[in-house]
């Protein structure tokens, strides 16, 4: 008589959720070492039987959406990223590095919604209710419609939802809540999958929007199984340099709207503040100086002026220094080569320092022309007029190539008072340098013209 073969144990990667039937030292998905652990026996497969559906399938043209209008969260920049507001029953995942301000942002969202008369349940699995209350006092987020709970058990969280009957639920965070129905510690792939799928099912059944906070790995990816990002409707990433006050929310996935919108915020001593027009944050104040140039960057659908600053120092070292911050170091190296070969500006014996104002990253190809003009101005000691902004990509042949959203960049530059925009209409980098040069003293102009061929 044949005996039933026992199920083999399954091994799961604790970083990404990759599953294998035998132990390996390195994950086959995320390539991390030492993250594959035994999870237990894989369940035996069963035949799925056909069941009567709860409701009949309907033609898509007969389905009404009038009962699912978007609701404003009260935070305009957050609504912008979501596509105009929160859709009932939506599951939203907000990820970000530790300390970037995820909890502060969502507490502000909860407070704004509560002050508009909606009942909000904020569940913190990482802080006590007293700690959340202290943060709410500091950020002026107190409201009688905002309910706090400090729970790590999923069943208790569901009990709070039944008791409070909220119109918005925030869980901070999905990696620290555990389900009694699943083996393993908090944060394990199986636990994260079970907690997320249960909360999402509650959201869909009740038309209740749920916002989940997600941790990230050292590589910047959402911690836990990859299926987590597939389960939710919206994936937002909260980013920013903790050395600066500026923060951005970007939509990486959005079933209800575009993914090219960006929300801008500023961290202050009183919490987080929306920045609907962040243009002034990326520009220095005062008169133009040599080595500065304003480039027009695209953040999602937003055109933002970013000031690029360059400082150059002659050196006798065989390998000059190239220190950059806020821009792509590889593109800076390419721009320096183009300046020397195509514009006759020698950079091989000069230390070059390039940075952006405000700590913002300007790493797209459209930054090339701003970097070139800033470096040329620093070397030759001339400044760019305040009314000039630029946007252009440089080719290795020294040509200024067109960039994406060129019309939108020009429109935004005009709105902000830049009377002249230098872009691909200047056919070469040498033409762009001539167009950008300020009317400096004549001795400077003569020196510049004599030293650089073609000027």
Check whether 102 is labelled as a binding-site residue.
Answer: yes
Q: How far is the first Cα of the chain from the last one, in angstroms, to the nearest whole number?
A: 95
DSSP assigned state of 50:
P
Check whether 55 is labelled as a binding-site residue.
Answer: no
What pLDDT is stored for residue 453 in this prediction? 46
Check whether 101 is labelled as a binding-site residue.
Answer: yes
Check whether 344 is labelled as a binding-site residue.
Answer: no
What pLDDT is stored for residue 437 in this prediction? 82
Check whether 109 is labelled as a binding-site residue.
Answer: no
The token pair that represents 16 in the structure block: 């990404």
* pLDDT tens column, 138-195: 999 999 999 999 999 999 999 999 999 999 999 999 999 999 988 888 888 889 999 9
Cis bond upstream, residue 173 (ω within 30)? yes
Q: What is the pTM of this model?
A: 0.77
d(CA 174, CA 225): 12
What pLDDT is stored for residue 438 in this prediction? 56
Check whether 103 is labelled as a binding-site residue.
Answer: yes
What pLDDT is stored for residue 368 in this prediction? 97
What pLDDT is stored for residue 1 in this prediction? 44
Q: Going residue by residue through the chain, which has 455 residues, state the pLDDT in tens, using 9 for 90 and above.
A: 444 455 566 888 877 778 888 889 998 887 888 888 887 655 555 677 788 787 788 898 887 766 568 899 999 999 999 999 999 999 999 999 998 999 999 999 999 999 999 999 999 999 999 999 999 999 999 999 999 999 999 999 999 999 999 999 999 999 999 999 888 888 888 899 999 999 999 999 999 999 999 998 877 788 777 789 999 999 999 988 777 788 999 999 999 988 888 899 999 988 999 988 887 777 777 778 999 999 999 987 888 899 999 999 999 888 999 999 999 999 999 999 999 999 999 999 999 999 998 778 898 999 999 999 999 999 999 999 989 999 999 999 999 999 999 999 999 898 888 999 999 988 899 999 999 985 443 334 333 444 444 44
What pLDDT is stored for residue 143 in this prediction? 94
Burial classification of residue 121, based on how many CB atoms lie within 10 Å of its CB (0-12 exposed, 13-18 middle, 19 or more buried): buried
CA nearest neighbour of 146 among 169, 128, 126, 125? 169
CA nearest neighbour of 363 among 328, 404, 406, 405? 328
- Contact present, 282 and 358 (Cβ < 8 Å): yes
């Amino acid at each position: 008589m044949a005996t039933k073969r026992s199920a083999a144990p399954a091994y799961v990667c604790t970083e990404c959720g990759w599953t294998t039937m035998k132990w390996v030292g390195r994950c086959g998905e995320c390539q991390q070492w030492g993250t594959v652990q035994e999870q237990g026996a894989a369940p035996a497969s069963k035949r799925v039987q056909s069941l009567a559906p709860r409701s009949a399938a309907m033609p898509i043209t007969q389905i009404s959406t009038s009962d699912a209008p978007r609701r404003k969260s009260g935070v305009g920049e957050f609504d912008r990223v979501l596509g105009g507001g929160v859709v009932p029953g939506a599951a939203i995942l907000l990820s970000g590095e530790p300390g970037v301000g995820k909890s502060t942002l969502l507490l502000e969202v909860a407070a704004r919604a509560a002050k508009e008369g909606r009942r909000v349940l904020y569940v913190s699995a990482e802080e006590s209710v007293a700690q959340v209350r202290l943060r709410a006092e500091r950020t002026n987020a107190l409201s009688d419609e905002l309910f706090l709970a400090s729970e790590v058990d999923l069943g208790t969280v569901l009990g709070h939802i039944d008791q409070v009957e909220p119109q918005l639920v925030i869980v901070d965070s999905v990696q620290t809540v555990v389900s009694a129905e699943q083996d393993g510690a908090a944060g394990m792939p199986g636990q994260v999958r079970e907690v997320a799928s249960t909360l999402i099912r509650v959201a869909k059944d009740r038309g209740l929007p749920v916002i989940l906070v997600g941790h990230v790995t050292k590589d910047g990816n959402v911690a836990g199984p990859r299926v987590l990002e597939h389960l939710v409707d919206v994936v937002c990433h909260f980013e920013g340099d903790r050395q600066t006050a500026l923060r951005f929310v970007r939509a990486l996935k959005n079933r209800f709207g575009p993914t090219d919108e960006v929300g801008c915020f500023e961290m202050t001593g009183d919490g987080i503040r929306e920045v609907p027009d962040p243009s002034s944050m990326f520009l220095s104040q005062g008169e133009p100086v040599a080595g500065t140039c304003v480039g027009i960057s695209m953040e999602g659908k937003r055109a933002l002026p970013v000031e690029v600053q360059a400082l150059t120092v002659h050196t006798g070292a065989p390998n000059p220094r190239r220190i950059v911050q806020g821009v792509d170091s590889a593109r800076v190296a390419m721009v320096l080569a183009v300046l020397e070969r195509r514009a006759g500006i020698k950079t091989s014996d000069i230390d070059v320092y390039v940075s952006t104002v405000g700590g913002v990253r300007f790493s797209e190809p459209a930054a090339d022309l701003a970097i070139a003009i800033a470096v040329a101005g620093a070397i030759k000691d001339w400044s760019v007029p305040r009314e000039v902004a630029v946007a252009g990509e440089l080719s290795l042949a020294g040509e200024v190539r067109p960039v994406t959203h060129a019309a939108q960049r020009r429109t935004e530059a005009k709105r902000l008072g830049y009377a002249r925009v230098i872009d691909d209409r200047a056919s070469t980098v040498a033409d762009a340098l001539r167009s950008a040069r300020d009317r400096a003293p004549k001795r400077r102009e003569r020196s510049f013209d004599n030293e650089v061929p073609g000027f």
